[in-house]
A and B are shown apart, each in its own frame.
Chain A
């Protein structure tokens, strides 16, 4: 029964003939059934939020998620949830947050908590752009991407053929960010290309925190041939 204290003991035995010869009992050790401890993962969910996910804990009535900017500091507890993931909004870009989750089971009116999960670090960063590459002419290709919330600009990187050494083409400006408000206007047209040559592109967003660029992950690499 959940939260009931049980006393457990073990003794070894050796079979001698047809008789078991027992050792002394072990020390009696207490145990109390509580929900299993969630195993969580924490990922950035944009420039100002994190997302914690975990597997369903058998017998759990819900979960408590809490976070802190210091592992041993004061944790802010989110509203209890019955979901197996939690969105942690309102965070500072590029700041390390410590996240933990514990399950609970309602026994009557009492919540019986599991142990806290391992504390997992997370850092809000801009989301990763998703790009497309389209042929504009026999000498130009156009790279488009979705606008990334909170991004201050984008970097477009290119390589040729199978060359994996990328060259940064340009950095986006706030103008591009402005354009994000309309979402569909984010792009870069790469001109003066060699016809029938393969070009590879990848893009990452960034957000300026004071003077530091905080990048998203690079987008997936896409190729195009003018």
Chain B
């Protein structure tokens, strides 16, 4: 794929040459005496902003000079991290002497890092000077298109996540090579920090850096790369130290961005952070996805521990890079108590928050505001760092209504029971509204809604009671008779000399 992208880039660039052939400039002033191409001043190469969002405009600019015929135009060719290409020829020089290209970023712009693949200056004599990213460090022209919700990543370390070939380049920070990515050094590359190799590093020489952290270092040609492989294929490399280890990555930076918000009622964590996206991230055991720039937003992770937050990054070598945040030691901790996200409450709620501007259904409320009336609400908390937290909740004080049976009543037939809210349990077992109860015996139906309102009723399904007649069966005995009850297994007969007295129970009869 990468090879295919390279072919596309070359094609694109060749097309540029065909459209603007060298001969087309042969009639320019002093053309016959101008045989030297323009000079692009890479020290002036810059972009207006690195991280850009849909709606932004990013401007790349550079200065170029030509000592005889003058600059005709500057051609910029950008490539995204996914291989998409974007180009523009700029013919007009600004009053500041720069050739500028303002690139509008829209919602359809591919997110991720866009790098300048090549820049070509053409003079009026038709001479061209091209600079390629494979041979020169053009990283100052990169910009990163972010999703509208993507936080800005302020970590200055450099990382690559896909196979990349570098020509001349200087990196002023640490460099992380992501797992399964191969960085090929094919020019003069200086990394002023350290190089951490989670994928592979191949150097043909002229690599200068402090330390390289990897699993195995191979001198000479190899075509077999594992995560952590560093292959020196030739040339002269100036490296202070090579550090080999099974778990060579000692540290991965990770920072919290702005406030940490905890929905104390639901024990939910809201946190934003930035890191180098080269390891699997989890917070309190829950996997967390990155944005393209290595930032992340977590809105509803359950806190395992009420006193601390554990952020783990597990690298490709199995090492866990942990960051423990003690809640009592977090300066930017925002606690919201009283209501929680999607909370259902059956009582008055007092909303308490220690920072920001709270609004209940759009109306500003102060901390300590009590909500009593039943209904659905949206509490929002707007923080000074621009974060907006939304906590929808419901106050429901109404108990579920059960129909079909009446508490304390016995029935001689099956009963179909419905309830208007919540979930039911009949004798401790899940019971669906609209189901029919036909089992003889005493039953307890408890229905509890999401707010915790509960209605419990007891009822019985019993055989029909007999209708009896009693008559004397001689001077010392009576006889009771009744019609058979279809659902009965048998009958119990009892008698007493007092209607409200103690009854003597005869042996059960069928």
Judge: A and B partners, yes or no: yes
Asked whether A29 is an interface residue with its Cβ less than 8 Å from the other chain, the reply is yes
Scan residues 456-510 of chain B and give those whose CB is less than 8 A from a CB of chain A: 460-478, 480, 482, 485, 487-499, 501, 503, 508
Count residues of A near B (Cβ-Cβ below 8 Å): 40
Shortest distance from the beta carbon of A98 to any chain B beta carbon, whole Å: 24
Beyond A23-B465, A30-B470, is A13–B475 a contact (Cβ under 8 Å)? no
Asked whether A59 is an interface residue with its Cβ less than 8 Å from the other chain, the reply is yes
- Closest A residue to B494 by beta carbon equals A9
> Is the CB–CB distance between A33 and B491 below 8 Å?
no
Given A1, A14, A33, which contacts B487 in the complex, CB threshold below 8 Å?
Answer: A14
Given A13, A29, A58, which contacts B492 in the complex, CB threshold below 8 Å?
Answer: A13
Given A2, A23, A28, A105, which contacts B488 in the complex, CB threshold below 8 Å?
Answer: A23
Please report the C-alpha to C-alpha distance between residue A127 and residue B40 in the assembled complex, in whole angstroms.
Answer: 160
Asked whether B412 is an interface residue with its Cβ less than 8 Å from the other chain, the reply is yes
Beyond A23-B462, A29-B480, A33-B477, is A12–B440 a contact (Cβ under 8 Å)? no
Scan residues 160-192 of chain A and give those whose CB is less than 8 A from a CB of chain B: none
- Closest B residue to A1 by beta carbon equals B476
Given B439, B473, B475, B485, which contacts A12 in the complex, CB threshold below 8 Å?
Answer: B485
Kindly list chain B residues whose C-beta atoms are within 8 Å of the C-beta of A28: 499
Given B462, B466, B487, B488, which contacts A26 in the complex, CB threshold below 8 Å?
Answer: B466
> Is the CB–CB distance between B478 and A10 below 8 Å?
no
Scan residues 35-60 of chain A and give those whose CB is less than 8 A from a CB of chain B: 35-36, 57-60
> Is the CB–CB distance between A12 and B499 below 8 Å?
no
> Is the CB–CB distance between B503 and A9 below 8 Å?
yes
Kindly list chain A residues whose C-beta atoms are within 8 Å of the C-beta of B485: 12, 23
Please report the C-alpha to C-alpha distance between residue A10 and residue B494 in the assembled complex, in whole angstroms.
Answer: 6
Count residues of B near A (Cβ-Cβ below 8 Å): 44
Q: Mark A1-20, 1 if CB is under 8 A from B, else 0.
A: 11011111111111110011
Given B412, B462, B474, B493, which contacts A22 in the complex, CB threshold below 8 Å?
Answer: B462
Given B464, B465, B490, B495, which contacts A8 in the complex, CB threshold below 8 Å?
Answer: B495
Please report the C-alpha to C-alpha distance between residue A17 and residue B462 in the assembled complex, in whole angstroms.
Answer: 14
Please report the C-alpha to C-alpha distance between residue A172 and residue B208 in the assembled complex, in whole angstroms.
Answer: 167
Asked whether A112 is an interface residue with its Cβ less than 8 Å from the other chain, the reply is yes
Beyond A26-B465, A29-B469, A29-B480, is A12–B488 a contact (Cβ under 8 Å)? yes
> Is the CB–CB distance between B497 and A4 below 8 Å?
yes
Please report the C-alpha to C-alpha distance between residue A59 and residue B465 in the assembled complex, in whole angstroms.
Answer: 34
> Is the CB–CB distance between A10 and B482 below 8 Å?
yes
> Is the CB–CB distance between A35 and B462 below 8 Å?
no
Kindly list chain A residues whose C-beta atoms are within 8 Å of the C-beta of B410: 24
> Is the CB–CB distance between A33 and B475 below 8 Å?
yes
Kindly list chain B residues whose C-beta atoms are within 8 Å of the C-beta of A2: 475-476
Given B464, B467, B474, B478, which contacts A27 in the complex, CB threshold below 8 Å?
Answer: B467
> Is the CB–CB distance between A7 and B496 below 8 Å?
yes
Kindly list chain A residues whose C-beta atoms are within 8 Å of the C-beta of B499: 7, 28
> Is the CB–CB distance between A6 and B495 below 8 Å?
yes
Asked whether B408 is an interface residue with its Cβ less than 8 Å from the other chain, the reply is no
Asked whether B441 is an interface residue with its Cβ less than 8 Å from the other chain, the reply is yes
> Is the CB–CB distance between A7 and B439 below 8 Å?
no
Please report the C-alpha to C-alpha distance between residue A13 and residue B439 in the assembled complex, in whole angstroms.
Answer: 13
Asked whether A34 is an interface residue with its Cβ less than 8 Å from the other chain, the reply is yes
- Closest A residue to B475 by beta carbon equals A59
Beyond A21-B463, A31-B472, is A10–B493 a contact (Cβ under 8 Å)? yes
Please report the C-alpha to C-alpha distance between residue A31 and residue B469 in the assembled complex, in whole angstroms.
Answer: 9
Shortest distance from the beta carbon of B474 to any chain A beta carbon, whole Å: 5
> Is the CB–CB distance between A24 and B476 below 8 Å?
no
Asked whether A213 is an interface residue with its Cβ less than 8 Å from the other chain, the reply is no
> Is the CB–CB distance between B472 and A34 below 8 Å?
yes
> Is the CB–CB distance between B475 and A11 below 8 Å?
no
Shortest distance from the beta carbon of B503 to any chain A beta carbon, whole Å: 7
Please report the C-alpha to C-alpha distance between residue A200 and residue B496 in the assembled complex, in whole angstroms.
Answer: 67
Asked whether A32 is an interface residue with its Cβ less than 8 Å from the other chain, the reply is yes
> Is the CB–CB distance between A33 and B474 below 8 Å?
yes
Kindly list chain A residues whose C-beta atoms are within 8 Å of the C-beta of B482: 10, 26
Beyond A12-B490, A60-B475, is A7–B441 a contact (Cβ under 8 Å)? no
- Closest A residue to B412 by beta carbon equals A23
Given B466, B471, B476, B503, which contacts A23 in the complex, CB threshold below 8 Å?
Answer: B466
Kindly list chain B residues whose C-beta atoms are within 8 Å of the C-beta of A24: 410, 462, 465
> Is the CB–CB distance between B503 and A6 below 8 Å?
no
Please report the C-alpha to C-alpha distance between residue A77 and residue B497 in the assembled complex, in whole angstroms.
Answer: 34
Beyond A14-B489, A22-B492, is A6–B474 a contact (Cβ under 8 Å)? no
> Is the CB–CB distance between A9 and B475 below 8 Å?
no
> Is the CB–CB distance between A35 and B475 below 8 Å?
yes
- Closest B residue to A34 by beta carbon equals B472
Kindly list chain A residues whose C-beta atoms are within 8 Å of the C-beta of B460: 21
Shortest distance from the beta carbon of B181 to any chain A beta carbon, whole Å: 67
- Closest B residue to A17 by beta carbon equals B441
> Is the CB–CB distance between B472 and A32 below 8 Å?
yes
Shortest distance from the beta carbon of A35 to any chain B beta carbon, whole Å: 5
> Is the CB–CB distance between B470 and A8 below 8 Å?
yes
Kindly list chain B residues whose C-beta atoms are within 8 Å of the C-beta of A112: 475
Kindly list chain A residues whose C-beta atoms are within 8 Å of the C-beta of B466: 10-12, 23, 26
Please report the C-alpha to C-alpha distance between residue A60 and residue B442 in the assembled complex, in whole angstroms.
Answer: 49
Kindly list chain A residues whose C-beta atoms are within 8 Å of the C-beta of B462: 14, 21-24
Please report the C-alpha to C-alpha distance between residue A71 and residue B63 in the assembled complex, in whole angstroms.
Answer: 141
Kindly list chain B residues whose C-beta atoms are within 8 Å of the C-beta of A19: 441
Given B412, B476, B489, B501, which contacts A20 in the complex, CB threshold below 8 Å?
Answer: B489
Given B473, B491, B501, which contacts A36 in the complex, CB threshold below 8 Å?
Answer: B473
Kindly list chain A residues whose C-beta atoms are within 8 Å of the C-beta of B487: 12, 14
> Is the CB–CB distance between A33 and B472 below 8 Å?
yes
Shortest distance from the beta carbon of A57 to any chain B beta carbon, whole Å: 8
Query: What are 8 A-B interface contacts by the 8 Å CB criterion?
Result: A6-B496, A8-B495, A10-B480, A10-B492, A12-B485, A24-B462, A36-B472, A36-B475
Q: Which residues of B contact A (CB under 8 A)?
A: 410, 412, 439-442, 460-478, 480, 482, 485, 487-499, 501, 503, 508
Q: Which residues of A contact B (CB under 8 A)?
A: 1-2, 4-16, 19-36, 57-60, 105, 112, 114
Given contacts A8-B495, A11-B466, A21-B442, 16 further A-B contacts (CB under 8 A): A7-B499, A8-B478, A8-B480, A9-B468, A10-B480, A12-B465, A12-B488, A13-B508, A14-B440, A16-B441, A23-B466, A24-B462, A28-B499, A29-B469, A30-B470, A33-B477
